[in-house]
Amino acid sequence: MAAADFTPTPAPVVDIRGLWTVFGHGDQEVVIHRDLDLRVERGEMLSLVGGSGTGKTVLLRQMLGLQQPARGQVTVLGEPAARLGRHGASSRVGMLFQQGALYSAFSVLDNIAFALRELKTLPDDVVDEAAYVKLQMVGLGPQHAHKKPSDLSGGMIKRVALARALIMDPPLLLLDEPTAGLDPHASDEFCDLLRSLHAELGLTLIMVTHDLDTLFALSSRVAVLAGQKVLVSGAPAEVARFDHPFIHDFFQGERGRRAMTPVPAGAD
Ligand SMILES: Nc1ncnc2c1ncn2[C@@H]1O[C@H](COP(=O)(O)OP(=O)(O)O)[C@@H](O)[C@H]1O
Ligand SMILES: [Mg+2]
């Protein structure tokens, strides 16, 4: 037997098997996910796409251990996701919620530091220092540290929310519609930031997005939620050719064609 045969296969960062999500009871029962499987390997940038209400946000919440499936296993970083959730804010999975969700009464620095401060294991100045490092990491100078969220632009709020999600140096980052509500310029900048953090920190990214520019800028793989499971997953251009009404509408609409058409050299 060759030595290579003894090398353990690295475990996936996320391993979802036979997942069912059911809401309501009796004739009010709605099945959101039916026997869904999804594996995400270390270092991937996976985009989850699907129609409204197909259970994309619920799936992220299940990966965080905030919501339990009716059936099936959700294993994250080698542990049942439920165990991550039990300790409140997980130190191992960062989450960028769709609404940014900063505390409006707290300064930028205190928002970023929040989870670390809550641990009550480090002195205040160490916590502040860690938060300043994260502020710089998301491309914001120290002059923003004592501002309130209401003083920030939409793009800056996303950056602060990202810094907060990264405060515990999680190897896995989940993002729900990270560029929703940003103008195209701020959106491009945020994608650039996510791409460079992915490379520098060796992160695994799983994001929900319906923005095709974001999807093409950031995905090494796309997984399509349809028919209550992962219908297809693969490279963006591959998935775009899959024959299904949702995929057709999603990728072949006007915005889709524009996002997929390479800009000719020299064109602005
Ligand atoms: N806690 C809950 N109780 C009942 N229904 C829920 C709950 N959370 C989500 N749902 C329903 O599950 C479906 C999927 O929700 P969601 O994951 O938010 O969809 P999306 O793919 O648009 O993110 C929606 O119909 C939503 O109303
Ligand atoms: Mg959603």
pLDDT tens digits in sequence order for the chain, 268 residues long:
555 556 666 789 999 999 999 999 999 999 999 999 999 999 999 999 999 999 999 999 999 999 999 999 999 999 999 888 655 556 789 999 887 679 999 999 999 999 999 888 999 999 999 999 999 999 999 999 999 999 999 999 999 999 999 999 999 999 999 999 999 999 999 999 999 999 999 999 999 998 999 999 999 999 999 999 999 999 999 999 999 999 999 988 766 656 666 555 544 5
Q: Is residue 146 within 8 Å of residue 107, measured between CB atoms?
A: yes
d(CA 232, CA 254): 22
SS3 of 101, please? coil
The protein residues having their C-beta less than 5 angstroms from ligand 2 (an ion) are 56-57
Q: Whose CA is nearest to atom 20 of ligand 1?
A: 53
Q: Is residue 44 within 8 Å of residue 174, measured between CB atoms?
A: no
52 DSSP 8-state letter: T
Q: Whose CA is nearest to atom 11 of ligand 1?
A: 53
- Beta pairing class for 30-40 and 14-23: antiparallel
Phi, psi of 181 (to 5 degrees): 85, -5
Measured CA distances, 175 to 209, 241, 252 (Å): 8, 25, 24
The CB density around residue 44, as the number of other CB atoms within 10 Å, is 18
| Residues sharing a CB contact under 8 Å with residue 9, sequence separation 6 or more, in sequence order | none
pTM (whole model) above 0.85: yes
Q: Tokens for 227, please give them.
A: 């028919």
147 DSSP 8-state letter: -
SS3 of 94, please? strand
CA 136 / ligand 1 centre spacing (Å): 35
d(CA 51, CA 42): 26
Q: Tokens for 27, please give them.
A: 């004739």
